[in-house]
C-alpha cells in the first residue's frame, strides 16, 4: 500500500499544488538542491540575481531560483511596483537596477535596507 501512495505522489502534476508556479517542479516535495524550504523567499532570490547580474534574462533567473519564468515575471512586477527595482529596456533586453536604499518590508527587519541585505548574502 505504501508504494502505491508514493507512486501517486510522484505522478501528481505540479499544477495540483497551489504553489506550483513558485516552486521548482520536482518529482517529490523538494525544491532546488533537495531542500523543502529556504531562509530567503523567491522574491529575495530574484532580487539577489538582478543585483549580481543586471542584464540577466528571465529564463536564467527561473533556472537558478527553481521557479517558472511566469513566476519570475510576477516577482519582477512586484519588485518594480513596490519601488525595489527599476527596469530599463536596452535593445531587446531588460536591464535592472536594484534600489538599494529602500528599507526591507517587514516590521521585524525594516530598520535595514535592501543594500544591507545584499551586502550580507550577495557580496
Q: Which residue has the higher pLDDT, 15 or 51?
A: 51
Strand, coil or helix: 117: helix
96, 85 Cβ separation under 8 angstroms: yes
Work out the angle between the directed axes of helices 42-52 and 114-121 (0-180°, nearest 10).
Answer: 80
**Averaged over 64-79, what is the pLDDT?**
98
DSSP 104: P
For the whole model, what pTM was predicted? 0.72
Cα(24)–Cα(39) distance, integer angstroms: 16
pLDDT over 80 (residue 15): no
Phi, psi (deg, nearest 5) at residue 110: -70, 0
Confidence of residue 122 (pLDDT cuts 50, 70, 90): confident
**Averaged over 12-30, what is the pLDDT?**
42
DSSP 18: T
Cα→Cα distances 37→23, 49, 85, 100, Å = 10, 18, 25, 26
Domain 32-121 has CATH 3.20.20.80: no
Write out pLDDT tens, residues 82-111.
Answer: 999 999 999 999 999 999 999 999 999 999
Confidence of residue 20 (pLDDT cuts 50, 70, 90): very low
59, 103 Cβ separation under 8 angstroms: no
- Domain boundaries defined on the chain: 32-121
pLDDT at 113: 98
Write out pLDDT tens, residues 37-69.
Answer: 889 999 999 999 999 999 999 999 999 999 999
Confidence of residue 32 (pLDDT cuts 50, 70, 90): low
Amino acid at each position: 500500500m505504501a508504494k502505491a501512495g508514493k507512486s501517486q505522489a510522484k505522478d501528481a502534476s505540479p499544477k495540483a499544488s497551489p504553489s506550483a508556479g513558485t516552486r521548482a517542479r520536482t518529482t517529490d516535495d523538494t525544491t532546488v538542491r533537495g531542500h523543502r524550504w529556504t531562509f530567503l523567499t523567491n522574491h529575495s532570490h530574484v532580487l539577489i540575481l538582478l543585483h549580481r547580474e543586471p542584464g540577466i534574462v528571465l529564463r536564467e533567473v527561473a533556472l537558478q531560483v527553481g521557479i517558472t519564468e511566469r513566476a519570475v515575471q510576477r516577482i519582477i512586477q512586484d519588485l518594480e511596483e513596490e519601488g525595489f527595482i527599476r527596469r530599463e529596456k536596452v535593445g531587446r533586453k531588460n536591464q535592472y537596477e536594484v534600489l538599494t536604499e529602500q528599507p526591507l518590508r517587514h516590521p521585524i527587519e525594516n530598520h535595514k535596507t535592501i543594500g544591507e541585505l545584499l551586502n550580507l548574502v550577495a557580496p
